[in-house]
Amino acid sequence: MTDQKIQEYVKKLQRGDMSAFDELYEATKTHVYYTILVILKDESSTEDIMQDTYLKMLESIEKYKPKRPFKAWIGTIARNLAINAYHKKKREVGMPDDAENFLLPTHETSSENAYYLHGLMKALNDEEKEVIVRYVILEEKHKDIAKKMQKPLGTITWMYQNALKKLRKEAGEDHE
């Protein structure tokens, strides 16, 4: 969905037309999901924070100004909620202080990395993104990914290799 179309749905939602929510959700759910998952590295917590993100978005939709892309705005909400959840979990579990710098680099570095990664991930379709995130971030095995996505192991392996080729090409590292 184009940014212009998203803006139309935002305006409808700001006027109280709740039917626009479904369209905005469909247009942003993948971006929001992976923004949170990269920080929390836990699917269950990610889904909880995703719900909180959309609730917070609805509560503050009046404050949104179209100077900034909507996906970036809702991504910021998702990121902030995920970081808060991460810090809460860190306090509960008692993680060492240096773990935070490893998992959540400084804001500037994190923003730059997120921007770069987001640009690279645009080259992938949703299924390829899911395979990459599950394998690289969640450290799941291909056979487990195949079960969760209900696809043959060979298909998952092929999708992973194909996604890596696309990412290398997008990053300018394609030497073929």
Both 54 and 39 in one domain: the answer is yes
Asked whether the predicted pLDDT for residue 85 surpasses 50, the reply is: yes
- Radius of gyration from C-alpha coordinates of the chain: 18
Give the C-alpha separation, 59 to 147, whole Å.
37
Query: Which CATH number does the domain housing residue 44 bear?
Result: 1.10.1740.10
Residue 130 token pair: 């899911």
Both 112 and 157 in one domain: the answer is no
> Which segment of 49-58, 83-92, 109-118 scores lowest on mean pLDDT?
109-118
pLDDT in tens, 16-40: 999 999 999 999 998 899 889 888 8
Looking at residue 120, what is its pLDDT? 73
Both 81 and 63 in one domain: the answer is yes
Asked whether the predicted pLDDT for residue 108 surpasses 50, the reply is: no
Looking at residue 58, what is its pLDDT? 94
CA dihedral 110, 88, 78, 115 (to 10 degrees): 10
Both 59 and 146 in one domain: the answer is no
Both 12 and 34 in one domain: the answer is yes
* Number of independent structural domains in the chain: 2
Half-sphere exposure of 81 (CA within 13 A, CB side): 24
Both 80 and 24 in one domain: the answer is yes
pLDDT band, very low/low/confident/very high, at 109 (cuts 50, 70, 90): very low
Both 131 and 115 in one domain: the answer is no
Closest by alpha carbon to 93, among 79, 103, 81, 80?
103
pLDDT in tens, 135-171: 877 778 889 889 888 889 899 989 989 988 888 888 7
Give the C-alpha separation, 142 to 17, whole Å.
42
Asked whether the predicted pLDDT for residue 87 surpasses 90, the reply is: no
50 close to 33: Cβ distance less than 8 angstroms: yes
Looking at residue 1, what is its pLDDT? 77
Give the C-alpha separation, 54 to 22, whole Å.
11
> Which segment of 58-67, 77-86, 101-110 scores lowest on mean pLDDT?
101-110
Asked whether the predicted pLDDT for residue 128 surpasses 70, the reply is: yes
Looking at residue 103, what is its pLDDT? 46
Both 53 and 138 in one domain: the answer is no
Asked whether the predicted pLDDT for residue 67 surpasses 80, the reply is: yes
Domain that holds residue 95: 3-122
pLDDT band, very low/low/confident/very high, at 53 (cuts 50, 70, 90): very high
Asked whether the predicted pLDDT for residue 57 surpasses 70, the reply is: yes
Main-chain phi, psi angles of 17, to 5 degrees:
-80, 95
